[in-house]
Amino acid sequence: MNVAPWSSKYGCLFFVYPVVIFLALTTSSAVAQDEVADPGGFVRLVSPDPQQVAIAKKPRIVMALTRPVDQGTLLVMLDGTDITQVLTRTADGFAFKPIQVLEPGLHTLAISATGSEGETLSQEFNFTTRHNERYEKAYSRNQLTVLAQKAFAKSDNLDGQVPDRRVEGNLNTLSQLKDGGLDVNLNADIKFVGQDIPTVAPEKQGVDLIDYLVTAEYLRGNVTTHAEIGDTLVDLSSNTLSSLSRRGAQLSFGGNRAKVGGFSVNSAQTYGYDGEAGIDSDTGSHIHGAYGDLNFLDNRLRMRAIYTHGGEQGDSFGTTATDRHAESHTTGFILTTDFFEGRMVSEMEADFNRFDEDTTDDQTFRSDSAYRLNVQGGIDRYTYGAAYKYFGANYEVVGNQSLEKDRQGVELTGGAGFERHSVSLAFSNYRDNVDTDETRPVVQTQTGMVDYAYTGIERFPITFSYQLERSGSSREPTDTEPVDYAIDSLSSSVSYMVNQWSIMLQGTYALMDDKTVNNADTTSTLISFMPQYFDELLSISPNLSYNRTDDHAADIQTDMVTVALDIQGRLPNDRFRYGLGGTLDFTTTSDDYVDQRTTTYHFNLEYELGRYLRGSIIPAIGLRGESNLVKDRVNDTLTREYVFMVTLSANAVTSF
């Protein structure tokens, strides 16, 4: 087993060690408190003192009974959590030492019991804590899971694909420092993998820093300074960078009326630590940008300006499988208004872009633009929306894979919700080839949809949905086949829910009418039956579905029948857990070209060996198995894969 040691490539973790060392040094126990008696109650709070702030992360709570009670009826709640079973009995009462760090601030202790004469007694105390003298909050919470598995039976065709021995450990750490306007957070996931065969990329043998994020925020008056480094999320607008998750850094500064920010991130998606923090001036493999916000009239009028510049080289984990050297410059402007308290909200965006799809060739940047206008709102039970969108033929932004370039059109939506009925409507009309390039046809697509739901019968909701899509082409170049089709889709569902049971019957029918000379019409029918049972100890989820696809031009029907079952449960003592599931798939065609049966199943059994350090460490031993059987009745072949293994796992949670 090749276990890679920590090396200098993990230098960016210098953020972690000062925080952890500081927290360890500043951890303190609760200061001694004077007893506090409540002469009108049945219990008194010995410590902490509700009149003072307790300096402790895990303050010891001591209570003394002032009158006899039925110990079997005692109930103690700390901030809404029942701690009765973990109390330590004392000579005159009980005590409690938290296992995990308590959040700083006000805490509520509620005690109830039955008195010696059968009367109901209840009492409540409040006390306040902070973690240490310097910081209101200073703690680290760490969760470690370890799984070791050994295969004792495995099919030969899985040799080299499934390891005989594997050990995997995952550590999540969350640390925080907070006091006044300062708030610093560290969140990281570290993974260890050791197995007897090579791992499949992007997973690596040894220890790897899967992801991390360090954030620091300082609030002074109405001005907030925010900085973060690590696996960050850049979200500027739908036409520029939208929910871009990459490794890098961000910095912003501002208040309610004005804000500016900037960022630098890797353009490639990374898994694990590669020695880079994502901050680099190289625009060929990084994305940089800045933005500015202005807010007026209590946020009723908002403006944003955006600039991004970046490039990408080849493919990376988690992106589309392309191999290119692209670069883009994008400038965008957004205007948002909300003058009628949500009744009419408008957003207008204009973006201007220069894009080079391959910086290694002789072609240079091409300029283009994108625009969108959204208006939406709601009045009482009614909602509406309208949008216009335009994307130029050459509009592309490095880092935004979801853009649909060379497209323009409109969308309309509406809806209404009543006590027993709800309905929503949608319509869109889009065309491509916005520049009317003579080498390509112009394709126009209209889509309409109606959704209806009825909830007038208790525990018996009913839904209907109808959708029509119509697409046709024009200006087809020579030797280019036209596009002309219509798709009608109708679906419905009926559900029934009672106690622990829920049952759903769902059906969908779709007809594709090819109006060209090919006349390649198809229909598809899908029927699903999905009952489910769920309670605290057992869940059962079967599924039965039937799907038929009919190719009318070839006069071939394809039938697929799937039967699935998933069972998860545990015994009342919560030490034994089990799971069992599997599927049966039957696929046939009317021309007898396909006749296949696929059977898969899996199971897991787990027995908890005990709970140590008051439940903070929980080891368990178990068995797991998987099997896949494929029978091809046309070619008379049988393929079987299986693996069975014994497992040893442990889960540990600690905070300090």
Helices (H), 554-630: none
Residue recorded with tokens 């049972």: 533
Query: d(Cα 255, Cα 294) in Å, to the nearest integer?
Result: 10
Kindly state whether residue 152 falls inside one of the protein's structural domains: no
pLDDT at 281: 78
Kindly give the pairing relationship between strand 61-65 and strand 43-47: antiparallel
> Quick one: average pLDDT of 419-436?
96
Q: DSSP code of 392?
A: -
Question: Residue 245: which H helix or E strand, with range?
Answer: strand 244-254
Question: How many distinct structural domains can be found in the chain?
Answer: 4
Kindly state whether residue 143 falls inside one of the protein's structural domains: no
Q: Would you say residue 294 has pLDDT above 70?
A: yes
Domain end call among 112, 131, 150: 131
Helices (H), 50-152: none
The pLDDT tens digits of the residues spanning 363-375 come to 889 999 999 999 9
The pLDDT tens digits of the residues spanning 52-104 come to 999 999 999 999 999 899 988 999 999 999 999 889 999 899 999 998 899 99
Q: Would you say residue 26 has pLDDT above 60?
A: no
The pLDDT tens digits of the residues spanning 297-316 come to 999 999 999 999 999 886 55
Nearest 5°: the CA angle 43, 48, 51 is 95
Residues 364, 456 within the same domain: no
Q: Is 81 left (phi over 0), alpha (psi -120 to 50) or beta?
A: beta
Kindly state whether residue 121 falls inside one of the protein's structural domains: yes
Query: d(Cα 648, Cα 294) in Å, to the nearest integer?
Result: 56
Residues 505, 550 within the same domain: no
Query: d(Cα 468, Cα 482) in Å, to the nearest integer?
Result: 20
Residues 586, 554 within the same domain: yes
Q: What are the respective helix, strand and coil percentages of the chain, to the nearest 5?
A: 5, 60, 35
Kindly state whether residue 174 falls inside one of the protein's structural domains: no
**Chain mean position to CA 160:** 32
| Number of neighbouring beta carbons within 10 Å of residue 536 | 10
Sign of the alpha-carbon torsion through 96, 99, 104, 106: negative
Residues 250, 121 within the same domain: no
Kindly state whether residue 7 falls inside one of the protein's structural domains: no
Q: Would you say residue 412 has pLDDT above 60?
A: yes
Is residue 586 a contact partner of residue 597, using CB atoms and an 8 Å limit? yes
Q: Encoding tokens for residue 457?
A: 């019968």
Identify any residues that bridge with 265 across adjacent strands, giving them in sequence order.
Answer: 248, 287
pLDDT at 173: 96
CATH of the domain at 84: 2.60.40.10
Q: What is the mean pLDDT of the chain?
A: 90
Q: Mean pLDDT lowest for which of 95-109, 137-151, 229-243, 272-286?
A: 272-286
pLDDT at 482: 94
Domain end call among 131, 159, 180: 131
Residues 495, 627 within the same domain: no
Residues 426, 512 within the same domain: yes
Identify any residues that bridge with 600 across adjacent strands, giving them in sequence order.
Answer: 583, 628
Identify any residues that bridge with 310 across adjacent strands, giving them in sequence order.
Answer: 287, 328
Q: Is 240 left (phi over 0), alpha (psi -120 to 50) or beta?
A: alpha
User: What pLDDT band is residue 17 in, cutting at 50, 70 and 90?
Assistant: very low
Residues 243, 358 within the same domain: yes
User: What pLDDT band is residue 347 in, cutting at 50, 70 and 90?
Assistant: very high
User: What pLDDT band is residue 40 in, cutting at 50, 70 and 90?
Assistant: low
Question: Residue 641: which H helix or E strand, with range?
Answer: strand 637-655
Question: Residue 25: which H helix or E strand, with range?
Answer: helix 16-26
Residue recorded with tokens 């820093």: 209
Q: Mean pLDDT lowest for which of 26-35, 109-118, 375-384, 511-520?
A: 26-35
Q: Would you say residue 318 has pLDDT above 60?
A: no
Is residue 597 a contact partner of residue 557, using CB atoms and an 8 Å limit? no
> Quick one: average pLDDT of 18-36?
37
Q: Encoding tokens for residue 99?
A: 């296992």
Is residue 330 a contact partner of residue 306, using CB atoms and an 8 Å limit? yes
Q: At 11, is the secondary structure helix, strand, or coil?
A: helix
Helices (H), 410-499: none
The pLDDT tens digits of the residues spanning 138-179 come to 999 999 999 999 999 999 999 989 999 999 999 999 999 999
Which residue type, as a one-letter code, is found at position 210?
A: I
Kindly state whether residue 598 falls inside one of the protein's structural domains: yes
Phi, psi dihedral angles at 21 (to 5 degrees): -65, -40
User: What pLDDT band is residue 272 in, cutting at 50, 70 and 90?
Assistant: confident
Domain end call among 85, 104, 131: 131
pLDDT at 568: 97
Q: Would you say residue 320 has pLDDT above 60?
A: no
Residues 568, 593 within the same domain: yes
pLDDT at 364: 86
Residues 245, 374 within the same domain: yes
> Quick one: average pLDDT of 256-261?
95
Kindly state whether residue 235 falls inside one of the protein's structural domains: yes
Residues 423, 375 within the same domain: no
Residues 242, 358 within the same domain: yes
| Torsion on CA atoms 568, 571, 575, 579, rounded to nearest 10 | -20
Q: Could you list the residue range(s) of the whole structural domain that residue 308 is in? A: 221-403
pLDDT at 118: 87
Query: d(Cα 292, Cα 576) in Å, to the nearest integer?
Result: 56
Kindly state whether residue 278 falls inside one of the protein's structural domains: yes
Nearest 5°: the CA angle 97, 100, 102 is 85
Residues 431, 349 within the same domain: no
